Structure 1
């Protein structure tokens, strides 16, 4: 189970234990399922001539993975909805074979004015590769359930 609104206090830092190694299949499947024909993701011969020298992982896959790796510890069964994304940064590329881990920080939390059983939480998720390079930074707001009355 995730954390209730009351447990998501500003300043709380969570180093998520679940990590994920990104595969070629992840990248190709995600890119094709989302109708993204960008050759930097799909065409190794094209990508060899790019500044990266090889294919790079679709950034939207990386965004989804970084948030997904936080779900078990933070929002599994306790969130109502994502409300918005204020920051989405990709300061370094992700490549096939990179292992991503996530560190989340609670930036702000306030009671909902219109929903007394819920609260709004602002979270930052930082995705790091196996070399501890920052590959993704996401700041988002989400609506969480308050702890049910006993």
Structure 2
């Protein structure tokens, strides 16, 4: 369920037959303390840099930060809900974490099609997350896109 701080394009599916180089989709979400706490609970990653402000103050970050994989999960949401969308199979994802995401930051996750292999239904996309226009995460995703044709 989307909260007031999440803005998505319509959800659904774009089949391999309709995907084109340069297609771009995105979502924007504010990362909250609650999001970080839920992610820690689900993954069991309770590193105090994410959960304990006094501990985090003494780290190189100078305060609490979101889990990198929480930020990366926004990329997964764009791929699974928008481009290609429902029916997509994730095959791989590379990630580079460039800057911390803090509670209260508004993250925009973007996915852009860079290569298409129609015969294998494979799509390669550049992935990135930005806060205030600054890249905090970059990577590349390889997915198997849904098709209108039956195998």
TM-score range, shorter chain: 0.7 to 0.9
Whether 1:120 and 2:127 are equivalent positions in the alignment is no
TM-superposed CA distance for 1:124, in Å, is 1.3
Counterparts of 1:78 and 1:120 in 2: how far apart (Å)? Answer: 13
Tell me the matched-pair count. Answer: 139
TM-superposed CA distance for 1:73, in Å, is 2.6
1:25 aligned to which of 23, 34, 39: 34
Q: State whether residues 22 and 96 of structure 1, in contact with CA within 8 Å, keep that contact through their aligned partners in structure 2.
A: yes
Alignment of 1:1-150 (within 5 A): 1-10=12-21, 12-16=22-26, 18-79=27-88, 81-85=89-93, 87-113=94-120, 119-129=121-131, 131-148=132-149
Counterparts of 1:133 and 1:50 in 2: how far apart (Å)? Answer: 22
TM-superposed CA distance for 1:146, in Å, is 2.1
Regions of 4+ moved over 6 Å: none
TM-superposed CA distance for 1:43, in Å, is 1.1
TM-score, normalization: structure 1?
0.83
TM-superposed CA distance for 1:147, in Å, is 2.8
RMSD (Å) for aligned C-alpha atoms: 1.8
TM-score, normalization: structure 2?
0.83
Judging changes above 3 Å, is the alpha-carbon distance between structure 1 residues 69 and 21 closer, same or farther for their aligned structure 2 residues? farther
Residue segments in structure 2 that go unaligned for 5+ positions in a row: 1-11
Residue segments in structure 1 that go unaligned for 5+ positions in a row: 114-118
- Report the secondary structure of 2:13's partner residue: coil
TM-superposed CA distance for 1:111, in Å, is 2.6
TM-superposed CA distance for 1:66, in Å, is 2.5
TM-superposed CA distance for 1:142, in Å, is 0.7
